[in-house]
Structure 1
């Protein structure tokens, strides 16, 4: 077997929900060439469209908390019930707009969904979401009792306090990274269980297949990609990504709008460059 490649979704494989055709072809060609290619996203499984997931050999979702290969779930870590209750109480007390994300369902309150829709489709942030807004809003389920739901991750779009402050109040069981939409600022972020990140999900796949880490490639652009790019034998960052990630990367390639994955796959020998005209 050749290399095993882990690709972030938002900002890497897709831009504002739009996936370049060249990226799909590159993944398909790399797989035909004997390489494994997995999607490695902060999104929960429920927010990854089945036709998008079908292009890949497997899925690492929920920022490393969920791993699925060939329909077999290898990891599914969720907030313990007491911690989930405390997190929801703090979110509600701080006027948060948030989604509780599990693999099979993503939950919002009815008021939260209305606020979220206005924020990402009508407000000043709308341009930063583009077509991705439909993919986020469409699968959401309304809950009247959010503290009773099971979830692996919380994506918060708006808070009355900085997200780091709320994480500190929750204690050492929870970590937070800034939102992948940088313009949302410090009062947004992604909350997840301490010790869970994308490299943890990659390690599950590594053990399952008995991989050599030197043969692992990770490609991303955001704060939640730092650990996986550092962990991989070869780390690739997207131009315009967070500075900390650019500093870690072995290779930097263009953004999705310019089919950066095609350039990455060619330079890494995963696919053949197009034949030159005579």
Structure 2
């Protein structure tokens, strides 16, 4: 773990869902924490599994120094695209064919848009609406009410033929068979992690490019800015945050997060309802 000396600037990388925001709602304390850390000369980045097309303006409005999306597949900073990797056309077509053959509801994730089969929106509404029914609400600075299902579906473009789509990651829902069984068909070019929506169990998950994870995106930023690894702070809660927390000088997990994330964390902080990001940054001496 790195020292908490605040004489030098730190670079903070924040997961969105379950960390910075609760189902699309960022509490005011988190917004002010981002702004306060940047006023002190620290750098703050979004580092999310969401594709860029699924990161709404009300999240980014707090002001960030850059955005890592697609769980490390894409890196944007100061209007420049530093990284944009996607599945090869051959692997992309194989994934689409395999998911279609097993009647999986899925969304293909690209920086410019999400892609879904015609009619998948209604299927996803049936599956996801009960999951979000008991969500908490925040009287936040940036948004007072966000429908998380529509937040997911808003950027989706629908088509009857997705074999030609270019994408970096796939979110799968409502699979009739455990998704792990399909990975042998898809092959070593792809990996599978559990969905952040744990209530969906083995019927849901995220398929990603093998070797791509959030720490890969962080390293791109680190090399561009000449950062010391010891000065990197990362906060997250889900399975796709494991490598990020392991790589950071200070890795902070959210209470109640994925057990593997908690196992690699240096510290633990509350979730968005408890203003955990703000508490963590204050504890590190990064705020006013």
* TM-score, L = length of structure 2: 0.91
1:12–1:255 CA contact under 8 A, matched in 2: yes
Gapped runs of 5+ residues in structure 2? 1-7, 136-145
For 1:69 and 1:191, the matched residues in 2 are separated by 25
Question: Which SS does the other structure have where 2:133 is aligned?
Answer: helix
Aligned to 2:132: 126
| Distance in 2 of aligned mates of 1:207 and 1:163 | 35
Secondary structure of residue in 2 paired with 1:146? coil
Partner of 1:15: 22
CA 1:181–1:75: 2 relative to 1, 3 Å:
same
2:91 match: secondary structure: helix
Aligned residue among 42, 45, 54 for 1:47: 54
1:239: Cα distance to partner?
0.2
Secondary structure at 2:268's aligned position in 1?
Answer: strand
Query: What is the deviation of 1:128?
Result: 6.4
Residue 77 of structure 1 pairs with residue 93 of structure 2: no
Partners of 1:88 and 1:195 in 2: how far apart? 20
Using CA pairs under 8 Å that are at least 6 residues apart, name the structure with larger relative contact order, 1 or 2.
2
1:144 positional shift: 2.1
Task: Kindly indicate whether the alpha-carbon contact (under 8 Å) linking 1:119 and 1:126 is maintained by their aligned counterparts in 2.
Answer: no
Distance 1:180 1:127 in 2: 16
SS of the aligned residue for 1:13 comes to: coil
1:110 corresponding residue in structure 2: 118
- What is the CA distance between 1:113 and its match in structure 2? 1.6
Give SS of 1:230's match. Answer: helix
Between stretches 181-190 and 138-147, larger displacement belongs to: 138-147
Aligned to 2:109: 101
Look up the match of 2:139.
none
Q: Secondary structure at the match of 1:148?
A: coil
Moved more, 75-84 or 124-133: 124-133
**Residue number among 63, 67, 83 corresponding to 2:71 in the alignment:** 63
Structure 1 stretches of 4+ with a deviation exceeding 4 A read none
User: RMSD of aligned C-alpha atoms?
Assistant: 1.3
| Number of equivalences | 270
On the 8 A contact 1:16/1:128 being kept in 2, the answer is no
Q: In the superposition, relative to structure 1, how do residues 194 and 128 fare at CA in structure 2: closer, same or farther (>3 Å)? A: farther
Verify: 1:156 aligned to 2:195, yes or no.
no
List runs of 5+ in structure 1 lacking aligned partners: 273-278
Counting only pairs closer than 5 Å after superposition, residues 1-278 of structure 1 correspond to structure 2 as: 2-54=9-61, 55-121=63-129, 124-127=130-133, 131-272=147-288
Q: With structure 1 as the length reference, what TM-score do the two structures score?
A: 0.94
Mapped to 2, the partners of 1:41 and 1:100 lie a distance apart of 16
Larger deviation, residues 68-77 vs 48-57? 48-57
